Amino acid sequence: GAGVSQTPSNKVTEKGKYVELRCDPISGHTALYWYRQSLGQGPEFLIYFQGTGAADDSGLPNDRFFAVRPEGSVSTLKIQRTERGDSAVYLCASSLDPNNNEQFFGPGTRLTVL
C-alpha cells in the first residue's frame, strides 16, 4: 500500500516568509508525528497528533511553528516569519496504534531559508 507522502519535496524561501508543509499519512493510521532533522543529527520531535487533536506539542521550538490536522488525516505544518535556523529536513511519520509505536516515515521536505 501507499506509504507516507510529503509535499513539497524541496522548498526554498526567503527569511521572513511563511511556509506550509503537507503530510499525507498511511491510510487508517490515527497517530501522526512531525520531526525535523538537521545535517548529521537524528530526527527531533516537534508535534504528535492523535486523530484531529495535538496530543503533544512540546517539541515545537516557538510560536512561529504551528500544525493542524483538521480531519484526522492530512496534516499541515506551518512556519511563520521563517529564519535561517529553520533550514532542515522536516519529516512526517504515522503509526497505526501508539501502543505499538512503530512509526513509518515519509520522504521529508527539505526546507532552505535564504
- By the criterion CB under 8 A, which residues form the site for another protein? 31, 33, 35, 40-45, 48, 55-56, 58-59, 91, 93, 95, 98-108
Write down the least CB distance from residue 49 to another protein, Å: 11
Write down the least CB distance from residue 5 to another protein, Å: 11
- Residue 56: half-sphere exposure toward Cβ, Cα within 13 Å: 10
- Residue 101: half-sphere exposure toward Cβ, Cα within 13 Å: 6
Residue number with CB closer to another protein (31 or 67): 31
Residue number with CB closer to another protein (27 or 99): 99
Write down the least CB distance from residue 26 to another protein, Å: 12
Question: Alpha-carbon distance 50 to 58, whole Å?
Answer: 14
Rounded to 5 degrees, what angle do the CA atoms 15, 21, 27 make?
Answer: 170
